[in-house]
Structure 1
Amino acid sequence: MTTIMYGIPNCDTIKKARKWLENAGISFEFHDYRKQGINQEMVSTFCQHLGWEAVLNKRGTTYRQLTQEQKDGLNASNAVTLLVENPAMIKRPILVVNDQYFIGFKAEQYQEIFS
């Protein structure tokens, strides 16, 4: 089973998800957006599997700092570019398990994924 978690290590949700996987004895690779980077192809793939609206984190400070014009003009084609430029706006974590994509962390959801 191939499991990759994408995110940034200092995120509280990432910390919870990583701890859950470690406690469950599930081996996974962690892809740190800040250290290992992110590109157009990767974000496009996330958006294809999960939908760009789900991938876009509207709760974070980075999103809130956008102008109203930028927020109003968001669509499938320009969201990817914006997310590549601002990886902190990608909802976390994104988990890829055997080519299936999941977003966010809830213990119940992870239990279901790995059962």
Structure 2
Amino acid sequence: MLKIYHNPRCKKSREGLEILKNSGKDFEVREYLKEPLSEEELKAVVKKLDITPILLVRKNEKIWKKDYREKDLSDSELIRVMVKNPKLIERPIVENENDAIIGRPPAEIEKII
């Protein structure tokens, strides 16, 4: 089953959700700002994405610029920062049992459907 990590206030995330709705596939929506990911869940997503944690960080967010941009954080520390501040997680993310993709642009989601 597909799952989208979704922020309804984000235009790209809403576009990604629409792609999933139009696909006819079963999927689950997780509003990760209301139901934050645990460290283990976020590590699993990063592994499925096959990226380093820094590539999942929204570096234009005010909290990143103010509190973290100048720090040299390890991958584990970055995971903890994103768990503590889920707004920093890039969106939308769509995953299946084996893989995940960041839907930027939203059309990328078609690759995992």
TM-score range, shorter chain: 0.7 to 0.9
Name the aligned partner's letter for residue 100 of structure 2.
Answer: Y
Query: Per-residue deviation at 1:110?
Result: 2.5
Matched residue SS, 2:54: helix
Deviations along 1:10-39, one digit per CA (max 9) or x if unpaired, are: 111110100111123233101111322321
What residue number does 1:100 align with? 99
Q: Note if contact 2:93-2:103 (Cα within 8 Å) is conserved in structure 1.
A: yes
TM-score normalized with structure 1 length: 0.81
**If you compute each CA radius of gyration, which structure gives the higher value, 1 or 2?**
1
- Residues 1:56 and 2:46 are matched in the alignment: no
C-alpha separation in 1, matches of 2:68 and 2:58: 15
C-alpha separation in 1, matches of 2:85 and 2:27: 25
What residue number does 1:66 align with? 67
Deviations along 1:76-104, one digit per CA (max 9) or x if unpaired, are: 12101101110000111111123211113
Matched residue SS, 1:36: coil
Q: Note if contact 2:48-2:98 (Cα within 8 Å) is conserved in structure 1.
A: no
Shifted more, 13-22 versus 23-32: the winner is 23-32
Unaligned runs of 5+ in 1: none
What residue number does 1:32 align with? 31
Root mean square deviation of aligned Cα: 1.9
Richer in helix (by share): 1
Structure 1 segments (4+ residues) deviating >6 Å: none
